[in-house]
Chain A
């Protein structure tokens, strides 16, 4: 189980004064301090860990955010920024002595500029509503996490989130042009904007993915792209994971760059089939590959992909010919997490591996799963090696969560061993905090801590995350 720091008793003692101070700055409905109500903020989507905050505030403007941070800075109160709370890593998990600073009320579109291809929004806007704001005019915002209906741009920037289509379009950082960010001392800073690169150091680049530890993002300028003329998936089933992996590699080597290459293994196929009845074949490995363009271009790419796939003796190859068929092909993949949730409690991992080690890693995961006696289903973005092993466990069974976490740690360590990393898109949060030393030497971590020192010298912003607690203890205590 994850340790959290002991709450600061001096802050807890000053609770009433701090809340009174917040109430001076914000309207009463924007300051949530009733213990019954703060419970709504006790966890994010990593529900195994919970702790109600001292209070939660929901400011409506950048100025209000700055005022709250100035107060917290002066009072030495820790602040945990929060978007929609869908983090799977515990990124927005509070501590008892912290304030949750949520941007959920900041949801306005500030500017849409088609000639210059950007949109400026308040950071609480949900990911999907950004695309919603521009799609009638033929544009979209490319990063598309599966949680896009709920998650906020703020959290996407916090975690540098990805999505199914990032093989072609990149992740959040590649589509982020600028932010308005409030530093812990209340200073408001604009980084980037409608232009394409930084004048000096790329501070925007390091803010993106900093998990709410460097500042609070209140506004964002995002690149929007013209929608492709069309898109169509093909579903290909294989007898073995090795063969599916080789097929992915051959397609990439042939110069085709699909927008998405999704991979599911047998446990995952079976579970989703039972749940969503998408008509998937019962085979060892399944690929869903989507290509974009005009009808003729799609045909050409599909032809190439099918030709390569046939060399690998697929058990099934089903090209979508209509919007309806496309929806059916995606149906199973999109309901994979939901399907798992039906069977059991599950923990979703997020390691990335070099694509070439796919067969080896899947084999080892199978062995570990048997050793631990916990079932693991694999669904992931195969084009970029970002795996999502789902470990099934029973939260009501004593010891199951601990075993599940141990297996998860073993799998992520394996990802690092083969040349990959602990997290491809969900972030470190508290979940992978203590594994950071498997990927980084002390000097590597020290370099990252120095960045935090420069932005937040008092270590008040989301301080118990990302780095092992013992590595940050002296800084947090200072």
Chain B
């Protein structure tokens, strides 16, 4: 089923007689497989408003990411949260949509400084499980009028409602960027170097450690400022070894690789995503074994594991959570892709779903 307007979407949901598999571009099949009638919102497309002087963008949920990025780039702007493109990792095809980025709260390396998708999102329109159109937030970046359902919708994977329109605070695109590369640090020392960098006043907005032992630190801004801050940062990190600068051009490619989990793309196996306290990350990665890509100053770990393994059983209890992002249909049906929640939180989540989607037809079971 494909709808091309919000009212058609509302009608489709109202008339649905069974579960729906909600999708935008269909490039991010994350979570427990849902056996439902496909419902695509890719036809609800188009930029509704872009006001560069107010740093705001409003777009229909099915708008392709490429269109969003091109529109913003033409005005020297961009989305702050550097959303990942899941296609290579999940081996999907199609055109990612902005609604899909919001539904998955897709947030790339810059999340460590600029916040996640949910932090830039300032307004939503969606259709709940009864077919009712709901709006929350708006097009202004400061808004505390009523409850913040905007945050609730980000990362709800279509389980509370189907997004029809999303609004963002956007940011100026920096004049240039630079990346410092440290070589050969073990993960424990890499996290220390990244903590020092992120704790410095130099506004490091990317901090990653690759399986090949490179540690990357990114700085963006006006050219003179970037030069100044990279030099100052390199000096501050002297105890961790030499920090080699790479060109802006190479820097862009390096971070696209971190964003899209390049080190694990061509490797067989399942891919898990750990969200943890940064200093816990090296220990957890060692306990897991296998190749690890650390992002967000080690707050995010992408682990490559043998197919079908339940990583959570292997890790035991830890602070944070583990999501199974890439695995076969069979594995994702067997091992909960989303980290099981403790009872009172699970009860709240279930209570919200039961109220937003009383018939349980929107991606039922996808998040557990």
Whose C-beta in chain A lies nearest to the C-beta of B198? A117
Asked whether any CB of chain B lies closer than 8 Å to the CB of A206, the reply is yes
What's the least CB distance linking B365 to chain A, in Å? 13
Could you tell me if B199 and A352 are in contact, using CB atoms closer than 8 angstroms?
no
A234 to B316, CA, bound (A): 54
A352 to B143, CA, bound (A): 7
Could you tell me if B116 and A455 are in contact, using CB atoms closer than 8 angstroms?
no
Could you tell me if B144 and A209 are in contact, using CB atoms closer than 8 angstroms?
yes
Asked whether any CB of chain B lies closer than 8 Å to the CB of A324, the reply is no
Q: Which residues of A contact B279 (CB under 8 A)?
A: 115-116
A195-B53 in contact given A296-B224, A428-B146 (Cβ < 8 Å): no
Q: Which residues of A contact B132 (CB under 8 A)?
A: 443, 446-447
Q: Which residues of B contact A424 (CB under 8 A)?
A: 140, 142-144
What's the least CB distance linking A45 to chain B, in Å? 16
| 8 Å CB contact of B144 from A198, A297, A384, A425 | A425
A164 to B272, CA, bound (A): 40
A166-B142 in contact given A195-B275, A199-B275 (Cβ < 8 Å): yes
| 8 Å CB contact of A199 from B140, B171, B323 | B323
Question: B318-351 interface mask toward A, CB cutoff 8 Å, 1 = contact, 0 = none?
Answer: 0111010000000000000011010011001101
A421 to B56, CA, bound (A): 15
A467 to B367, CA, bound (A): 31
Whose C-beta in chain A lies nearest to the C-beta of B299? A196
Whose C-beta in chain A lies nearest to the C-beta of B51? A356
A194 to B351, CA, bound (A): 26
A100 to B159, CA, bound (A): 36
Asked whether any CB of chain A lies closer than 8 Å to the CB of B256, the reply is no
Known: A171-B144, A356-B53, A421-B140. 13 other contacts (CB 8 A): A189-B345, A189-B348, A197-B116, A202-B151, A203-B345, A252-B172, A294-B232, A297-B229, A385-B54, A428-B144, A448-B146, A454-B351, A455-B348
Could you tell me if A160 and B51 are in contact, using CB atoms closer than 8 angstroms?
no
Whose C-beta in chain B lies nearest to the C-beta of A193? B319
A114 to B147, CA, bound (A): 32
Could you tell me if B145 and A423 are in contact, using CB atoms closer than 8 angstroms?
yes
Asked whether any CB of chain B lies closer than 8 Å to the CB of A419, the reply is yes
How many Cβ-Cβ contacts under 8 Å join chain A to chain B? 262
A454 to B351, CA, bound (A): 5
The 4 closest A-B pairs by CB, nearest first: A205-B151, A249-B53, A454-B351, A199-B321
Asked whether any CB of chain A lies closer than 8 Å to the CB of B73, the reply is no
Q: Which residues of B contact A332 (CB under 8 A)?
A: none
A467 to B145, CA, bound (A): 10
Whose C-beta in chain A lies nearest to the C-beta of B159? A201
Could you tell me if B172 and A256 are in contact, using CB atoms closer than 8 angstroms?
yes
| 8 Å CB contact of B118 from A183, A205, A466 | A205
Asked whether any CB of chain A lies closer than 8 Å to the CB of B70, the reply is no
A454-B355 in contact given A173-B151, A443-B133 (Cβ < 8 Å): yes
Q: Which residues of B contact A445 (CB under 8 A)?
A: 146
What's the least CB distance linking B200 to chain A, in Å? 6
Whose C-beta in chain B lies nearest to the C-beta of A438? B145
| Main secondary structure on A side of the interface with B | loop
Question: B277-311 interface mask toward A, CB cutoff 8 Å, 1 = contact, 0 = none?
Answer: 11100000000000000001001100000000000
Q: Which residues of B contact A427 (CB under 8 A)?
A: 144
Q: Which residues of B contact A421 (CB under 8 A)?
A: 138, 140, 143, 145
A172-201: which have CB < 8 Å to B? 173-174, 183, 187, 189, 191, 193-201
Q: Which residues of A contact B356 (CB under 8 A)?
A: 447, 450
Query: Chain B interface residue count: which class?
Result: 35 or more
B59-97: which have CB < 8 Å to A? 75-76
Could you tell me if A451 and B115 are in contact, using CB atoms closer than 8 angstroms?
no
What's the least CB distance linking B150 to chain A, in Å? 8
A41 to B142, CA, bound (A): 29
Whose C-beta in chain A lies nearest to the C-beta of B139? A419
Could you tell me if B76 and A255 are in contact, using CB atoms closer than 8 angstroms?
yes
Asked whether any CB of chain B lies closer than 8 Å to the CB of A426, the reply is yes
Asked whether any CB of chain B lies closer than 8 Å to the CB of A267, the reply is no
A-B contact pairs, 18 of them (CB 8 A): A115-B279, A117-B199, A138-B201, A189-B348, A196-B112, A196-B300, A200-B341, A252-B52, A255-B173, A255-B175, A293-B225, A384-B142, A419-B138, A423-B145, A425-B144, A428-B146, A441-B135, A455-B351
Could you tell me if B172 and A255 are in contact, using CB atoms closer than 8 angstroms?
yes
A210 to B143, CA, bound (A): 12
Whose C-beta in chain A lies nearest to the C-beta of B345? A189
Give the one of B140, B192, B225, B345 with max A CB within 10 A.
Answer: B140
A438-478: which have CB < 8 Å to B? 439-441, 443-448, 450-455, 466-467
A189-B148 in contact given A195-B277, A257-B172, A447-B128 (Cβ < 8 Å): no
Could you tell me if A173 and B148 are in contact, using CB atoms closer than 8 angstroms?
yes
Could you tell me if B172 and A209 are in contact, using CB atoms closer than 8 angstroms?
no
Could you tell me if A423 and B144 are in contact, using CB atoms closer than 8 angstroms?
yes
A255-B151 in contact given A356-B54, A419-B139 (Cβ < 8 Å): no
A191 to B143, CA, bound (A): 22
Could you tell me if A201 and B349 are in contact, using CB atoms closer than 8 angstroms?
yes
Asked whether any CB of chain A lies closer than 8 Å to the CB of B174, the reply is yes
Give the one of A115, A166, A386, A428 with max B CB within 10 A.
Answer: A115
Question: A390-430 interface mask toward B, CB cutoff 8 Å, 1 = contact, 0 = none?
Answer: 00000000000000000000000000000111111111100
Q: Which residues of A contact B148 (CB under 8 A)?
A: 160, 173, 205-206, 208-210
Asked whether any CB of chain A lies closer than 8 Å to the CB of B9, the reply is no
A199 to B323, CA, bound (A): 8
What's the least CB distance linking B178 to chain A, in Å? 14
What's the least CB distance linking A68 to chain B, in Å? 18
